[in-house]
Structure 1
Amino acid sequence: MGIWESFWIGSASTIFGGIVLAIFFFWVREKWFGVADVTGKWHFNMITQKTVYNPYKDMELHYVGVIWREGNQLHGSVEKVYEKSSTGERPYIGEHRSRGKLTGTYEKNYFSKDRVHIHVSEQGKGRESTNYFTLTVNKRRLRGNFCSFVADQEGVSRWQREPF
């Protein structure tokens, strides 16, 4: 076998092996480290832990929302469906639901859990309110913290596919 023949055989096998290895690593990345499916219907709550307005302390709000993902951008809408506060419990039905617009980003992490950052601008009865969420992504749920401009609220939030 000549030097050129062994050169071309060695080069071809290196190129072929590189292509196979690249396809394998692409498949592994997509299969085990791909982006979680956050698109669809979600039910989420907000439990206020800190606030400057004491009647909101320990208040729990429930929402239903729809998210769709375009690349790493999130879009959607939400509706408030339930409130439990110092003034009592009340479900919100039909025209009594306040609606909001959802925007956000999906943060892909390879060495830690993925996160989503969500901004909800809700049109309430008296004024528009802003809620910001930083949530850790698991297969069927999102969990994390929120902050709200309404009475400087901060607390925890849980997002799941099933109603509360």
Structure 2
Amino acid sequence: MFLFREGFQDSFFANLLAGLMIAFLFFIFKEKVFRIPNIGGIFYLRQRTENTVYNPYKEMELQYMLSLRLEGNKVYGSAEKIYENSSVGKGKEHIIHYEGKNRSICKIEGIIQKRYLSFYDILEFQSFEENEKRKSTTYYYVKLRKKYYFCGNVLFYDGSFSSTIAKQTGIFEISRNEFDKKDAKYSA
């Protein structure tokens, strides 16, 4: 039989209360201070090709409208190609504004890597595009952070991408606002 000293119950309840308080503090820090940035909604993506094996795609600019939703740390959504400027690589004006049925639709899947000991998190996602010519996959990698620790908009840094179309690589940026576009020389 165990013999307990006086005050065991006081000590037990004090330790239990301390444990509950620590658990509550960890919960508050995880959910309020170190929470995953909310990137749900409509965004615009502009990508510029820097390297490719197909010369007409060099320095090409593509713009997409993204519709994203966040489930935990997983990102899902779709994208529509809305603009193309491949004038530099083609050596002549070649600007297309995609409208309605001519927009190619992409499926997006990704993840946010939470980095607790850093000022930024990492968003990685893939875009699966299927248009009239072929299927393709593009991989995107970007750092992001909240403007303020407790609240504020998400700030995106410049990211990098690589695509299966002509082995393209380059940089991209994401914004809540549309990017500037040149006037269309072709309509699609």
Give the structure 2 partner of residue 68 of structure 1: 69
Give the structure 2 partner of residue 144 of structure 1: 159
Pick one of 132, 144, 152 that aligns with 2:139.
132
Give the structure 2 partner of residue 58 of structure 1: 59
Q: For 1:34 and 1:12, how far apart are their aligned partners in 2?
A: 31
Instruction: Report Cα offsets for 1:23-55 as digits up to 9, x if no partner.
Output: 012102211111110111111011111111122
Aligned amino acid, residue 76 of structure 1: G
Give the structure 2 partner of residue 155 of structure 1: 170
SS at match of 1:68: strand
Q: For 1:69 and 1:22, how far apart are their aligned partners in 2?
A: 26
In structure 1, runs of 5+ residues without a counterpart are none
Give the structure 1 partner of residue 116 of structure 2: 110
Instruction: Report Cα offsets for 1:44-77 as digits up to 9, x if no partner.
Output: 0111111111221111100001111222322111
Percent sequence identity is 35
Contact 2:142–2:159 (Cα < 8 Å) also in 1: yes
Query: What's the Cα RMSD here?
Result: 1.6
Q: For 1:57 and 1:118, how far apart are their aligned partners in 2?
A: 23
Contact 2:36–2:73 (Cα < 8 Å) also in 1: no
Q: For 1:105 and 1:24, how far apart are their aligned partners in 2?
A: 26
Instruction: Report Cα offsets for 1:65-98 as digits up to 9, x if no partner.
Output: 1111222322111100011112422211112211
Equivalent residues, number: 162
Aligned amino acid, residue 131 of structure 1: T
Normalising by structure 1, report the TM-score. 0.90
Q: CA deviation at 1:159?
A: 1.2
Give the structure 2 partner of residue 40 of structure 1: 41
Normalising by structure 2, report the TM-score. 0.80
In proportion to residue count, which structure has more strand? 1
Contact 1:146–1:154 (Cα < 8 Å) also in 2: yes
Aligned amino acid, residue 147 of structure 1: S
In structure 2, runs of 5+ residues without a counterpart are 88-92, 147-153, 180-188
